[in-house]
Amino acid sequence: MTGNDSTAGDSLDRGDGRSTSRRNRIRVLAAVSGGFGTIAVGLLVMSPLLPAIIADLSITPFQAGLGLSVMWGLNALGQYPGGRASDVTGRKTVLVFGLAGFVLGFGVVTASTTFAGYLVGVAILGLCSGLYPATGYTLLSELYADRQGKAFGIYTAFWDVGGGLSAGLAAAALAAGEWRLAFPPVIGLAVAAAVLIHVWRDEPYSLSRVRFDVGKTFARVVLGRESTRLIGAFCLFFLTWQGAVGFLPTFLRYEKGLPAGVASTAFASLFLVGMVTKPISGNLGDRFGRLRVSICALAVGAAGLVALTLARSTWTLLGAVVLFAIGLMSVTPPLLAHVMATLPDSNAGGDIGGFRTIYMGLGSLGPAYVGFIADLSTYGVAFYGLLGSLLASAALLLSANRF
């Protein structure tokens, strides 16, 4: 995508006769990021509620886990249609519709008393939440053309804020003895974000027929010489992210012998670090080169992963987790900003949605890999394999940077 950011000035010409003031751009950034953070709260709060859901609905752990798999799978699949629809109907329409569907999904889950109701509810949650992220990235890339990394850093940091809030929200609901009490605050936040986007984003709603040309999107996103390297690097990075984060508390407890409370604190620190590092890495990418900063972040993450596998004492393990988190959390903002800059304006939403669908779908195999290797050997061996994945990702970005 091309364009000039005028954050230092008073307005930004969007090319359609309307302009966005600097103050309004900040408002839109806040509202869209708040919506993204709300989606994080809603999706991530489901996992700690599972034991209570299993008991209350009289379902099996497999059924509960199947529901989460459906939710996250549809979230990944929703990335492309959401982004593509926003290219045709407008960003505001898809963002508000996605949040409205998100609220509907929670309404169904709240009212559910059977496995079927639970499954329908989480399916709606996953699909509608999947429409939102790529559209948000595309809108912010248009408003902050030359400062996409910084805007993306703020946007993605709200996901980590949501991750931190979800743990507290689940704990409060379970302490009150009713898992459904976790949902009204999420519904309220989603409604507030939708209202703010409606008020602050000066764009008409549109309901138009959307044509999905999956073949051409795939060709643009995957088959180009640089894009092949970028999608490969993202898949390897996300494989590590999903595998390491999904099993980090288990690794710390059973491989390193840390108490459950300390392991949970270490896991929560990932999100706390992300709140700080993502805006910083995005800004650094805008100033010093997005691929260059992404490669450095992967190197830091790899060093943290090595330290994590070698450390023995509690404090060195916690330090290694923080180092790993600094690297891991710093990759996405500058790297996605670089990807967005390579996409054509007319298909940017669909292309970034297709890009995210591919790397999120393939990256979701990370936990399966860690579990499989841990069954055969140890979690330590599995994490060393993830180290190879990070280094391969960095090598692909080095190749793309020279291309």
Bridge partners (DSSP) listed for residue 19: 13
pLDDT at 13: 45
Residues 232, 142 within the same domain: no
Q: Which residue has the higher pLDDT, 253 or 322?
A: 322
In contact, 246 and 366? CB cutoff 8 Å: yes
pTM over 0.85: no
Cα distances (Å, whole numbers) of residue 5 to 95, 141, 288: 22, 9, 17
pLDDT at 370: 85
Rounded mean pLDDT, 39-60: 89
| Spatial CA neighbour of 186 closest among 162, 161, 157 | 162
Residues 197, 254 within the same domain: no
Strand 19-21, strand 11-13: pairing: antiparallel
Among candidate residues 177, 201, 225, the one where a domain is terminated: 201
Neighbours of 178 (CB within 10 A): 11
- Is the residue at 275 inside a domain? yes
Return the exposure string of 347-386: e unless at least 16 CB atoms fall within 10 Å of the residue's CB, then b.
bbbbbbbbbbbbbbbbbbebbebbbebbeeeebbebbebb
CA–chain centroid gap for 340, Å, is 16
> What phi and psi values does residue 19 have, to the nearest 5 degrees?
-130, 155
Residue 211: left if φ>0, alpha if ψ -120 to 50, beta else—which one?
A: beta
Least confident of 34-48, 351-365, 372-386: 351-365
pLDDT at 219: 66
Rounded mean pLDDT, 52-56: 90
Residues 253, 390 within the same domain: yes
**Whether the predicted pLDDT of 290 surpasses 70:** yes
For 115, the domain range is 19-201
**CATH number of the structural domain spanning residue 358:** 1.20.1250.20
Least confident of 127-136, 312-321, 349-358: 349-358
Residues 245, 309 within the same domain: yes
Q: What is the pLDDT of residues 178-236, one digit of tens each?
A: 999 999 999 999 999 999 999 999 888 877 776 766 666 676 666 666 678 888 999 99
Rounded mean pLDDT, 8-36: 70
**Whether the predicted pLDDT of 19 surpasses 70:** no
DSSP state letters, 366-379: HHHHHHHHHHHS-H
Bridge partners (DSSP) listed for residue 11: 21
Cα distances (Å, whole numbers) of residue 269 to 176, 216, 273, 374: 25, 41, 6, 24
Residues 194, 252 within the same domain: no
CA–chain centroid gap for 366, Å, is 15
How many separate domains does the chain show?
2
Neighbours of 342 (CB within 10 A): 15
Q: Which helix (H) or strand (E) holds 21?
A: strand 19-21
- Is the residue at 9 inside a domain? no
Residues 289, 163 within the same domain: no
Residues 41, 133 within the same domain: yes
pLDDT at 352: 79
- Is the residue at 13 inside a domain? no
Rounded mean pLDDT, 66-73: 84
Q: What is the pLDDT of residues 236-264, one digit of tens each?
A: 998 898 888 777 887 888 889 888 778 87
pLDDT at 117: 94
Sorting pLDDT into bands at 50, 70 and 90, what band is 2? very low
Q: Which of 155-159, 192-196, 343-347, 361-365 shows the highest mean pLDDT? A: 192-196
In contact, 193 and 33? CB cutoff 8 Å: no
- Is the residue at 7 inside a domain? no
pLDDT at 217: 66
pLDDT at 4: 38
pLDDT at 100: 97
Residues 368, 221 within the same domain: yes
Residues 109, 141 within the same domain: yes
**Whether the predicted pLDDT of 12 surpasses 80:** no
pLDDT at 5: 38
Residues 138, 249 within the same domain: no
Among candidate residues 201, 234, 249, the one where a domain is terminated: 201
- Is the residue at 42 inside a domain? yes
Rounded mean pLDDT, 315-337: 93
What sign results for the dihedral spanned by CA atoms 265, 332, 237, 306?
negative
| Spatial CA neighbour of 322 closest among 361, 283, 265 | 265
- Is the residue at 311 inside a domain? yes
**136 token code pair:** 């948000």
- Is the residue at 207 inside a domain? no
Q: Which of 30-34, 165-169, 241-245 shows the highest mean pLDDT? A: 30-34
- Is the residue at 58 inside a domain? yes
**100 token code pair:** 């409205």
To the nearest 5 percent, what fractions of the chain are helix, strand and coil? 85, 0, 15
pLDDT at 8: 37
**Whether the predicted pLDDT of 363 surpasses 90:** no
pLDDT at 51: 82
Q: Which residue has the higher pLDDT, 156 or 246?
A: 156
CB proximity list for 115: less than 8 A, separation 6 or greater: 57, 59, 63, 67
Q: What is the pLDDT of residues 102-133, one digit of tens each?
A: 999 999 999 999 999 999 999 999 999 999 99
Residues 162, 254 within the same domain: no
pLDDT at 202: 84
pLDDT at 168: 84
Helix extents (H) in 19-178: 22-44, 46-57, 61-77, 79-89, 91-111, 115-130, 132-143, 148-176
Among candidate residues 142, 175, 201, the one where a domain is terminated: 201
Residues 251, 131 within the same domain: no
